[in-house]
């Protein structure tokens, strides 16, 4: 029974972390429009926080955009029209998932380019290390010293001949 209490507490804590920044005075009286506004708010980026949706952000600009979304929905705009309006006003950056286009190609392709450059650098480093090991005699290509080479080495090190 004790473990059940722990599970309930953990679930309650996880649920509590999903607090929203939407204030009661922002909410629309129409539950259908409010649900649409909340859905759109989760797709829009806070221009101040940059990694949060406007639904989660407490920034004043996020509040302004939330109010603008609700104003456009109340005026009768569709979800697509609201997103088009905000994209025209703020650019594709306002969308948390911007579309792939020529103007957003850098945004989408930069992580892939960084990954490929890192993999290429790793390959170069590993090949150089493998080549350095072969040159230093620690690699599998190492040839044992001959008797004359052993004698010369002992002479250089100042050891008596065996």
**pLDDT < 70 regions, the chain:** 12-21, 24-25, 133-142, 160-162
Do the beta carbons of residue 41 and residue 54 sit within 8 Å? yes
SS3 95: strand
41: part of which helix (H) or strand (E)? helix 31-43
SS3 50: coil
Q: What tokens does 79 get?
A: 């979800």
- All structural domains of the chain, each given as residue ranges with its CATH number in brackets, are 2-99 (1.10.8.640), 105-157 (no CATH)
Q: pLDDT tens-digit profile of 101-133?
A: 887 788 788 999 999 999 999 999 998 888 776
- pTM for the full predicted model: 0.55
């Amino acid at each position: 029974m004790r473990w059940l209490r722990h599970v309930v507490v953990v679930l309650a804590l996880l649920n509590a972390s999903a607090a929203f920044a939407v204030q009661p005075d922002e909410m629309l009286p129409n539950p259908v429009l409010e649900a649409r506004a909340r859905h759109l708010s989760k797709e829009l980026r806070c221009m101040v926080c940059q990694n949060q949706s406007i639904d989660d952000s407490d920034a004043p600009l996020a509040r302004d955009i939330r109010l603008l979304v609700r104003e456009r929905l109340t005026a009768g705009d569709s979800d697509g029209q609201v997103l088009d309006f905000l994209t025209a006003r703020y650019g594709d950056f306002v969308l948390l998932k911007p579309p792939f286009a020529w103007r957003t190609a850098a945004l989408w392709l930069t992580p892939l380019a960084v990954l490929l450059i890192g993999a290429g650098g790793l390959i170069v480093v590993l090949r150089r290390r493998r080549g350095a090991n072969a040159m230093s005699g620690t690699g599998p290509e190492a040839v044992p010293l001959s008797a004359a080479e052993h004698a010369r080495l002992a002479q250089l090190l100042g050891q008596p001949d065996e």
